[in-house]
Amino acid sequence: MIRPLAICLEDTAAGRLVQCVALAADEPGLSLDAEGEIRWQASGGCQLHAGEDGRLRVTRADGQTGARLERGGRTMELTVGEPTPVVSGDELVVGPRRLRVHLHGEAPAVSPPTHLDRLAAPADAPVEVAVRDRPPKAPCGIVPGTGAVGNLALLLLVLGGIAILVWWWLSR
């Protein structure tokens, strides 16, 4: 029995995440239409389904144009009727839309696609940096503000002092 897969599709341009479930290939389930819109239990377009080996697959339906899979800088046009394996991080480009796939394993329940309340930040969004009044204490053995040369000089000074003490002790 083929188990449904929990996935998220991230619209990289809009920064939206949609939580989805991919069913077996013989069941009507998750698909992308010609414009890249996510559809549930609709025929045609690009069907996203769980394979017998537990992997996510995408199959381009007859009549669907301009569908491709991008992985690690490589692009592959989807062939009509041929299931293509999809891994987490792959991007499906259908029509004007680019969707990044996030795999989450076996789905606990079958449900239609839902937009997540917490939106993903776009890649070019500004990052907030917290500025502290008092920085955290330095780890033991490191003198802040001295750099590598200063820490090396401090180490040599301590070792020199130990050597002098040992010499004095042995010379008595």
- pLDDT for position 156: 83
- CA-to-CA dists, residue 128 to 38, 46, 121, 131, angstroms: 32, 38, 12, 10
- pLDDT for position 141: 55
Give pLDDT tens digits for 156-167. 888 888 888 888
d(CA 23, CA 4): 5
- Both 81 and 44 in one domain: the answer is yes
Counting the structural domains of the chain, the total is 2
Give pLDDT tens digits for 30-57. 988 888 888 998 877 889 999 888 899 9
Residue 127 inside a domain? The answer is no
pLDDT band at 172, cuts 50/70/90?
confident
Give pLDDT tens digits for 60-118. 988 777 799 999 889 999 988 899 999 999 999 998 899 999 999 888 889 889 888 65
Query: What pTM, to 2 d.p., does this model score?
Result: 0.65
- Both 29 and 108 in one domain: the answer is yes
Residue 123 in this model has a pLDDT that exceeds 60: no
- Both 74 and 38 in one domain: the answer is yes
E strands, 25-149, are 30-32, 38-40, 46-50, 56-60, 67-71, 74-77, 84-86, 91-94, 97-106, 114-115
29 contacts 39 by C-beta, under 8 angstroms: no
The residue range of the domain holding 169 is: 143-172
The CATH number of whichever domain residue 97 belongs to comes to 2.60.200.20
- Both 75 and 150 in one domain: the answer is no
- Both 43 and 85 in one domain: the answer is yes
- The residue out of 115, 135, 163 marking a domain boundary is 115
- Both 28 and 103 in one domain: the answer is yes
- Both 95 and 160 in one domain: the answer is no
pLDDT band at 122, cuts 50/70/90?
low
